[in-house]
Amino acid sequence: MPILSIRRGASITEYSFTGAPTLAEALAAAGFAQAQPCGGRGTCGKCTVERLCGEVFPPNEAEKRAGVRLACQARLRGDCAVTLPAPRLWTGIETEATAPEVGEPMPGRYGAAVDLGTTTIVAQVYELATGRALGRAVLPNPQAAVAADVMGRVSAALSGELARLSTLARTAVHSAVKNACLAVGVGGVEALTVAGNTVMLYLLTGRDPRTLAVSPFKADCLFGFEEPLFGVPAYLPPCGAAFIGADITCAALATGLADARDTSLLMDIGTNGELVLSHQNRLFAVSASAGPAFEGVEISQGMGCAQGAIDKVWVESGGLGVRVVGGGKAVGLCGSGLVDAIAALLRLGRIDPDGRTDAPRLPIRDGVSVTAADVRAVQLAKAAIAAGVETLLAAAGLSAGDVQRLALAGGFGSRLNVASAAAIGLIPAALAGKAYAAGNAALAGAAALLMDMRLRGKAEAFARTVEVLPLGGDPAFEKRFLASMDFPRHDGGHH
């Protein structure tokens, strides 16, 4: 059998294969899965390798266009060798969660709260009797090797990849919990609570996500029960709807939105923007498809918040000031850096309110730039979120100024410069002074449910009573979306 020799840093791994797999398939089977944000179509260029030699089929059209070998396209036909870039250190993943209060914890000595995100997985181990936080671990979600977003993964599951996606999720959750335990010398956990969006929980438990793929998008399982996961009782909190998941239920618990007396708004902005408004004992929610731009995906030089990512940009001396994660040379832009960069370039007049740029590429630093296509991607993403907020406010008969507090949950929300977000129209200007970073609210809510089973009733009440407003096919939403495409003018008006 032919051998693929995989070099990463000083280590070399050999993997034998049959047939003519793509390099991505062989790497995934050998335990070196590469992220494929475009679902392996060869369009995003994010799975490049440093060096590929040996018996490999010649570059196809997608690779010729990219000018590099792409793991998702290059096919192996015999003995060959590949050099992979060193893994980037994930430094900016939002893992901070408020300490839970102990009520009636799940049985056992140690337990773990897990945030099963589309992009990253965070596990936090607790001592159940005291609520003391022990070890923590963060891993990239390996399902990204199949598709970047939830709908891509649903499509893959329906095309015969469900078992693989389920195994990837279960193995990664198990690894995250095990790594968190190893960090503090704990032998293992006896209880789990796993927060995740509805699709993630379907894939974790191996459920067929067919009902999530077709209109009217009515989930046939909304969870809210315990199910064993690698032999450990795992509580899977209830979901509000197909696209309002258990992560939002947990975030609502953690931010107090589930029983808020004031008028408050929760925004969790990722590939999907889940937005919840609490007003006069009513809860309204929307899921606005923002696409993965704010996670650095499908942006020409976008990346996660890892070493080398530009995460802050500002105007100084008529030019741009920049902060790079970990210092050193910049290699790309993460979501918060992208929002800052667009806001700064708007302020400098390099981008017009309608999104036109004065050059095809707008340099930021060290060869990292924002392209006209990147600006367009941000316009589409922020318009979806802004129109979602307006839809919620309209349903409750409110204006933005009526909202008393805005909780920004999740990694992107916690790193986001609120002034930049308002400058590009991602959040209403009237809410900029009322916004606060809620940290990893999904993880905090999962921990609260781990430490007090009595909160399950509150979680179930939230999921049952939240009024989910459908956006697809709603002419009022479409109108708001189009009206939100332009960036705000600096005088506060719109173009």
Same fold, 3-84 and 110-257+443-448: no
CATH superfamily label, 110-257+443-448: Domain of unknown function (DUF4445) (3.30.420.480)
Which tens digit of pLDDT belongs to each residue from 153-209? 999 999 999 999 999 999 999 999 999 999 899 999 999 999 999 999 999 999 999
Task: Report the predicted TM-score, pTM, of the whole model to 2 decimal places.
Answer: 0.80
- The pLDDT assigned to 92 comes to 43
For the stretch 317-343, pLDDT in tens is 989 999 998 888 999 998 899 999 999
Chain centre distance of CA 406: 20
pLDDT for position 38: 67
Confidence (pLDDT) at 172: 93
Could you read off the pLDDT of 335-388 as tens digits, one per residue? 899 999 999 999 999 999 999 999 999 999 999 999 999 999 999 999 999 999
Q: What are the φ and ψ backbone dihedral angles of 292, each rounded to 5 degrees?
A: -90, 15
Q: What is the mean pLDDT of residues 282-286?
A: 95
Q: Kindly indicate the confidence band of residue 75, based on its pLDDT and cuts at 50, 70 and 90.
A: very high
Architecture of domain 3-84: Roll (3.10)
Average pLDDT over residues 241-268: 91
Tokens of 223: 């969870």
pLDDT tens profile 404-432:
999 998 877 778 899 999 999 999 999 99
Tell whether the model's pLDDT for residue 46 goes beyond 90.
Answer: no
Q: Is the pLDDT of residue 232 over 90?
A: yes
* Across 123-147, average pLDDT: 91
Q: How confident is residue 36, by pLDDT bands cut at 50, 70 and 90?
A: low
What are the residue ranges spanned by the domains of the chain? 3-84, 110-257+443-448
Please give the pLDDT value at position 260.
76
Whose tokens are 């095990």? That residue is 178
Of 21-25, 97-101, 216-220, which range is least confident?
97-101
**Average pLDDT, integer, range 136-141:** 87
The predicted-structure confidence for 7-23, as pLDDT tens digits, reads as follows: 877 778 888 999 999 99
Average pLDDT rounded to a whole number, residues 229-237: 97
